[in-house]
Amino acid sequence: MKWTIPALAVLVGCLLVFHAAVPNTPGHLGSLLETYLPWLGLAVPILLAFALPRRATAALVALALPVAAWLALFGGSLLPDHPPAPDLTVVQHNVNDENPDPTGTARALLAAHADLVALEEVTLPAYDAALAPAYPHHAVIGTVGLWSRFPLTDVRPVDIRPHDIGEGWSRGLRATATTPEGDIAVYVAHLPSVRLGPDGLRTTRRDESAALLAAALAAEPIDRVILLGDLNSTVDDRGLAPVRAGMSVPGTRFAFSWPAAFPVARIDQVMARSATVTELWALPATTSDHVPIAAHVRLVTGGR
Strand positions, DSSP E, 132-216: 137-141, 144-148, 152-157, 172-179, 182-190, 195-197, 200-202
Statement: residue 303 has pLDDT above 70: no
Asked, for residue 304, whether it belongs to a domain, the answer is no
Residues 30 and 158 in one domain: no
Asked, for residue 176, whether it belongs to a domain, the answer is yes
- The pLDDT value given to residue 117: 98
Residues 282 and 257 in one domain: yes
pLDDT in tens, 110-163: 999 999 999 999 999 999 999 999 999 999 999 999 999 999 999 999 999 999
What is the rounded average pLDDT of the residues 32-42? 91
Domain count within the chain: 2
Residues 107 and 12 in one domain: no
* Average predicted confidence (pLDDT) for the chain: 92
**How confident is residue 302, by pLDDT bands cut at 50, 70 and 90?**
low
- Structural contact between residues 191 and 213, judged by C-beta atoms closer than 8 angstroms: yes
Domain stops at, among 22, 57, 78: 78
- The pLDDT value given to residue 3: 78
The model's pTM is 0.90
- Structural contact between residues 177 and 151, judged by C-beta atoms closer than 8 angstroms: yes
Residues 131 and 33 in one domain: no
Residues 60 and 163 in one domain: no
Asked, for residue 197, whether it belongs to a domain, the answer is yes
Residues 141 and 289 in one domain: yes
Domain stops at, among 49, 78, 107: 78
The angle, 0 to 180 degrees and rounded to 10, between the axes of the packed helices 64-74 and 4-17 is: 20
Among 236, 231, 243, which residue's Cα sits nearest to residue 268?
Answer: 231
Hey, is 103 helix, strand or coil? helix
Contacts of 274 (CB under 8 A, 6+ apart): 223, 224, 225, 299, 300, 303, 304
- The pLDDT value given to residue 1: 54
Domain stops at, among 15, 46, 78: 78
Among 139, 176, 181, which residue's Cα sits nearest to residue 154?
Answer: 176
Statement: residue 290 has pLDDT above 80: yes
* Phi, psi (degrees; rounded to nearest 5) at 17: -75, -40
Percentage of the chain lying above the pLDDT 90 cut: 75
Residues 202 and 55 in one domain: no
- The pLDDT value given to residue 24: 83
Task: Report the CATH number at residue 250.
Answer: 3.60.10.10
Residues 157 and 37 in one domain: no
Residue 290's H or E segment, with its range, is none
Contacts 24+ apart (CB under 8 A), 177-181: 177/116, 177/148, 177/150, 177/151, 177/152, 178/150, 178/151, 178/152, 178/153, 179/87, 179/88, 179/115, 179/150, 181/87, 181/299
Domain region containing 37: 4-78
